[in-house]
Structure 1
Amino acid sequence: MDLPLSPSTRARILCLLLGAVGGGVFYLLHLPLPWMMGAMTFTTVAAVAGVRIALMPRVRMIFVAILGIMLGSAFTPQMLDHLQYWAISFLWLALYVVVTTYLVRLYYIRFAGYDDVTAYFAAAPGGLSEMIMAGSAFGGDEARISLAHGARILVAVFILSFGYRWLGGYTPASAITVTSSHPLEVADLLWLGGAGFLGFFGARLLKLPAYALVGPMIVSAGLHVAGITASRPPAELVAVAQIVVGSMIGARFTGLPLRLVVRGILLAIGATSLLLLVAVGFGVAVDVTANMPFGSALLAFSPGGLAEMSLIALALGIDAAYVSSHHVVRIFMIVVAAPLVFRLLRRKG
């Protein structure tokens, strides 16, 4: 006898099916970053059209951890020679966070009519869940903060994926589509699996932001920098992880009124364009002062999510270790500083 599926289970299965179909269609069309972009597009359209979709939290955590292991494999012993340049780049990143938060906050106040709390936490380029929690704690509009960050990531992924491919001349790298040049042996599987397990639970215990991704990435990076392993997860698992990450973006819009979503995306186009213009300026500054390629610096300073921007770097053969480390540092800066700065600003009126 077939067991009837609950509405929530159907919504989760439908979300993954739509994501897989979208990824397959984009792959056949040879579009950039097909598995994530296709999943993101199909699930977003479905959610905006009123289809009830949702993502399985445990499935998402597992594949985000796999993506973290993959990002950690981009770190190599040779990168230690460039750390002094990374330090300069991190200083520019701190200034970038201050400038963009100020400008985008003004944008949301002037053009969207948001109150000061909502505008501030919608503008701060930190982790989505962390900014929602902090903003709601100070009395901000949780739905608008969530929509601002979700739509920003959606717009940034589209602009950067197609921009780098068509305007920048970048072509997909084999690292994201074929298996590793280092065959996976039993010992490698144990090391990578251990990195995912220890990184996930260790980062959760330490209450790190984006712990499912950051923890496995840090442990995997340590293993690869130390030369213990040079392998990465199978390409098939990474493709599925991209589908899950893309589907997660689209599923965020489920249940929101169409008018609110459309307005949020239109506002996000303006905010993201502003952020990217500032990122271009900082990318030039990093290119000149820190001897880092402009293409890498621009992606490291771009206003997308950690997982999404790192996937673009992997797909285009850009230095994923440099890009992902900057987005991790940016999230830490915002998560720690944003509530403290807001309290200070409120106290001063």
Structure 2
Amino acid sequence: MSLMSGAGVQAIRWSALLFVSAIFVYVLESAHLPAALLLGPMLAAILFAGFEKQVAVPPTVGLMAQGVIGCMIATTIPLSILGELARDWPLFLAGVVSVVVAACSLGLVLAKLQVLPGTTAIWGSFPGAASAMTIMADSFGADMRLVAFMQYLRVVCVSVVASTIARIWVGHSGTPLPAMVWFPPVDWLALAATILLIVMSFFVTRWFKIAAGIFLLPMILGIVLQNTGVMKIELPPWLLAASYALVGWTIGLRFTRPILAHAARALPRVLGAILALMAICGVFAVALVYFAGIDPLTAYLATSPGGADSVAIISASSNVDIPFVMAMQLARFLVILVAGPAIARLVVKWSGLRDATRVPLP
């Protein structure tokens, strides 16, 4: 009887979590903020965690959702980007290195001021895809909750500012995005191959204990297999939405009241660091305009420290050089993807800071 009672309580809590998540997603989508399908469930889960309502995403299910997001990112990285990068590689190298150095420097300041611990401040400051940085940070010893707090706060700030600038620059908000079709026709064979790739990555990650492997392997293999025509990655919108929600819940449900209090105390200084990074990137954009002849809006979106997904949405409705913008954003993401763990460790080691795993956060 007690087991049935416990199952009943869990069913009620999950129903409530789904309902609150849907409300948050609706509000964020109405505000045209990117990543609403992940951010909404994460905020709902944080709310539940703050009220100490015990709900948990099964670990295997959460990991599979990370694999879906890895495949999703693979679909956004065409091999044609290599031609764009090769054509103007000194420009891209300078743009990527300057933004990464600025972000790491601000992360180091936050760590030195003890706003956030060790590598957590560095991972939270990395200007990559927010979901990717959060997932990888957890596998490399940083505090996933505080990294998510920093990353998604920056996503909101950058998206609002970039959208406003684009709207002012072009005089309108651009062509409206088409309505989402949640249940389009599905290539079931391709979907089966995509799921098989994720499942195989899951077992390889477990057998060989690869850090962030369930996210990285589907992404890396997906890029190669799809661009060489070996397979087609099929991710229906309903599967992506469910995966975003699962990852959001996984992150949000890890929050505790002490962590929420820590994030609230850190908010002013973290927000200051985000605004400082945005201003520095604005200076880099001005440099691109004057020294490389890039038009101002293209330069601003290319150097913007938001995620490539949000910048892509804004670029698509603006009169900018989209290949240049996306090449700069994706080049920066790939650099952080490959070098991020080493950069975070080196910054902590050289600065004499303690690693996040040794800081007694709850």
With normalisation by structure 1, the TM-score equals 0.72
What is the DSSP-based 3-state SS (H/G/I as helix, E as strand, rest coil) of the residue aligned with 1:256? helix
Residue matched to 1:330: 336
CA distance in 2, matches of 1:54, 1:235: 24
Are residues 106 and 324 of structure 1, via their aligned partners in 2, closer, same or farther at CA, if it must alter by over 3 Å? same
Output aligned runs, 1:9-24, within 5 Å.
15-24=17-26
Are residues 5 and 20 of structure 1, via their aligned partners in 2, closer, same or farther at CA, if it must alter by over 3 Å? farther
1:343 to 328, 332, 349: 349
Amino acid at match of 2:349: R
What is the DSSP-based 3-state SS (H/G/I as helix, E as strand, rest coil) of the residue aligned with 1:100? helix
Are residues 296 and 86 of structure 1, via their aligned partners in 2, closer, same or farther at CA, if it must alter by over 3 Å? farther
CA distance in 1, matches of 2:145, 2:43: 16
Output aligned runs, 1:40-55, within 5 Å.
40-55=42-57
1:35 to 20, 34, 37: 37
Residue matched to 1:215: 217
Are residues 322 and 26 of structure 1, via their aligned partners in 2, closer, same or farther at CA, if it must alter by over 3 Å? same
Say what the alpha-carbon RMSD is for the aligned residues.
Answer: 4.2
Moved more, 10-19 or 156-165: 10-19
With normalisation by structure 2, the TM-score equals 0.69
Shift of 1:132: 6.9
Tell me, yes or no, if the aligned pair for 1:200 and 1:212 is still in contact at 8 Å. yes
Q: Does 1:297 align with 2:302?
A: yes
Q: Deviations over 1:242-298 (max 9, x none)?
A: 323333443342342653231123332122222222333345556765979435523
2:62 to 60, 63, 66: 60
Tell me, yes or no, if the aligned pair for 2:95 and 2:328 is still in contact at 8 Å. no
Q: Deviations over 1:210-247 (max 9, x none)?
A: 33322212222223322345553111111222323333
Q: Deviations over 1:110-162 (max 9, x none)?
A: xxx429x9356524545457667877xxxxxx7xx656423212311221333
Residue matched to 1:268: 270
Residue matched to 2:101: 98
CA distance in 1, matches of 2:139, 2:191: 36
Are residues 25 and 339 of structure 1, via their aligned partners in 2, closer, same or farther at CA, if it must alter by over 3 Å? closer
Residue matched to 2:117: 118
CA distance in 2, matches of 1:208, 1:42: 30
Amino acid at match of 2:222: S
Amino acid at match of 1:118: P
Are residues 84 and 217 of structure 1, via their aligned partners in 2, closer, same or farther at CA, if it must alter by over 3 Å? same
Tell me, yes or no, if the aligned pair for 2:50 and 2:260 is still in contact at 8 Å. yes
Q: Deviations over 1:27-61 (max 9, x none)?
A: 4x363233233323333344445544544332222
* Structure 2: tracts of 5 or more residues without a match: 127-132, 168-172, 317-321, 354-362
CA distance in 2, matches of 1:321, 1:79: 6
CA distance in 2, matches of 1:229, 1:290: 40
CA distance in 1, matches of 2:350, 2:88: 30
CA distance in 2, matches of 1:321, 1:227: 22
Amino acid at match of 2:217: G
Shift of 1:91: 5.0
What is the DSSP-based 3-state SS (H/G/I as helix, E as strand, rest coil) of the residue aligned with 2:235? coil
1:188 to 182, 187, 190: 190
Residue matched to 2:129: none
Shift of 1:163: 3.2
Q: Does 1:161 align with 2:159?
A: yes
Tell me, yes or no, if the aligned pair for 2:183 and 2:236 is still in contact at 8 Å. yes
What is the DSSP-based 3-state SS (H/G/I as helix, E as strand, rest coil) of the residue aligned with 1:19? helix
* Structure 1: tracts of 5 or more residues without a match: 136-141, 303-308
Are residues 327 and 17 of structure 1, via their aligned partners in 2, closer, same or farther at CA, if it must alter by over 3 Å? farther
Instruction: Give the % identical residues.
Output: 18
1:236 to 235, 238, 248: 238
Residue matched to 2:5: 4
Amino acid at match of 1:4: S
Tell me, yes or no, if the aligned pair for 1:36 and 1:246 is still in contact at 8 Å. yes
Are residues 60 and 285 of structure 1, via their aligned partners in 2, closer, same or farther at CA, if it must alter by over 3 Å? farther
Q: Deviations over 1:285-312 (max 9, x none)?
A: 567659794355235x44xxxxxx3543
CA distance in 1, matches of 2:21, 2:256: 14
CA distance in 2, matches of 1:56, 1:321: 36
Tell me, yes or no, if the aligned pair for 2:288 and 2:299 is still in contact at 8 Å. yes
**Matched pairs, number:** 325
Tell me, yes or no, if the aligned pair for 1:71 and 1:321 is still in contact at 8 Å. no
Residue matched to 1:279: 281
Are residues 267 and 341 of structure 1, via their aligned partners in 2, closer, same or farther at CA, if it must alter by over 3 Å? closer
